[in-house]
Chain A
């Protein structure tokens, strides 16, 4: 298991300051969401943690080890599924593992079954629906050897119904695995439903503007979405976000 700490992260593209001294931490086994409007710099945070871009300043610690400029330390699910079209589903989900070590096909098949993708092992990505592709990408990040998972708006391209199904499915898997997760979204309900803690980003430049602890018990059910506590929390976060936007 693992915990992540980001300290004083700043990044600008040209004159455009995107992240300004942003700090955050994810404890072991914790599910933390970053909530922010489109273009606020959420994906950029992941690219920086993953070593794809170099920060102007800031330090990353994974299990107290500094991981600046080190690639392959976190398991990552990009905003688009990014599956390899020439690999069948089974070969796609083991890719993250394959890069680091010999992949475990038995475990992969088992995870695909739990993801409701049994029988699709030999299908190609173009034969799957959008929701199925997202599940494949998620299974791939679960099977990657790194235990810290970064998910970048995995459900943003899905319709409302599929989205809720996928959130329930993700919770059912995560509540068993309990890996540390940093989750990016611009959907308030999704953030509350899934997380232990929500970080609301300010925009231009982005810093953590406010933080909400979510105390709802796990395992969480769909009925939670309509409880007064849920709705009032939603309102509170909405106002925080809106206050920021105005």
Chain B
């Protein structure tokens, strides 16, 4: 079992791993050969050095962003799930609010952000609102689709057996939508990190977004890359947490269908 999964990671992972290694080596070598100035494009070794030596100085930024992301993500997906359940159970509400929900995604966050600052100041609130706005949508849409794609045969069986609306929802529609909900969660998880960084650009005391702005305005390009590195790592970590949860909760899918490649 364990051996197999290691083997699988190796077999499936070697291709992207090789590509990344080749890119980094090319990058490193060209920085050395063409002596590209560090403020323009720092070599990977320089970035790594800054990541290690500057750790004490920037780690509080990372922690602050993690906090913000987790809070925003949790609120965002809760809002998404509640909205989906309400729109599903009350068709009139869906008719009224579904188009509105899609419109809400057409407002560029960059435009909305300054407005939120005017209305709510520089505290946590406007930042969390931004993360919630980018997070709730993928979850809500995926969950709604999951509910709606419930097999008619199974609904008919439940109705013939005399199931109440509530029983049909809890015993059939909700478990049926679970894989769809997780697809939404995966998208939201990666969006939430982006949302947090963007919201920190609005004006904050700490956070990866702040660290990044400070670094770029003082031409510390190596630090900008350190920030990018951490954003990617955070995305990957959140993503893997969701996948682990998914594997724990959804054990019933046939092989090949449930397994993500």
Contact = CB atoms under 8 A, between A and B. Distances in A.
B252 A82 contact: no
Interface string A55-94: 0000000000000000111111010101011111000000
A124 interface: yes
A52 interface: yes
B8 interface: no
Nearest to B164: A99
Given A84-B154, A85-B253, A86-B252, A52 B159 contact: yes
- Binding site of A, secondary structure by majority: helix, strand, loop or mixed? loop
Find the residue from B151, B153, B157, B178 having the highest chain A CB count within 10 A.
Answer: B157
B175 interface: yes
B52 interface: no
Contacts of A96: 161
Contact of B162 (A72, A84, A87): A72
A95 B158 CA distance: 9
Contacts, number: 65
B162 A99 contact: yes
B167 interface: yes
Given A86-B178, A86-B252, A76 B171 contact: no
Contact of B252 (A76, A124, A144): A124
A98 B157 CA distance: 13
B160 A84 contact: no
B46 interface: no
A126 interface: yes
B172 A71 contact: no
B172 A72 contact: no
A80 B252 contact: no
Given A72-B161, A82-B153, A126-B253, 14 more contacts: A50-B159, A72-B163, A76-B157, A78-B157, A78-B160, A82-B154, A82-B156, A84-B154, A85-B252, A98-B171, A99-B163, A124-B251, A126-B252, A144-B161
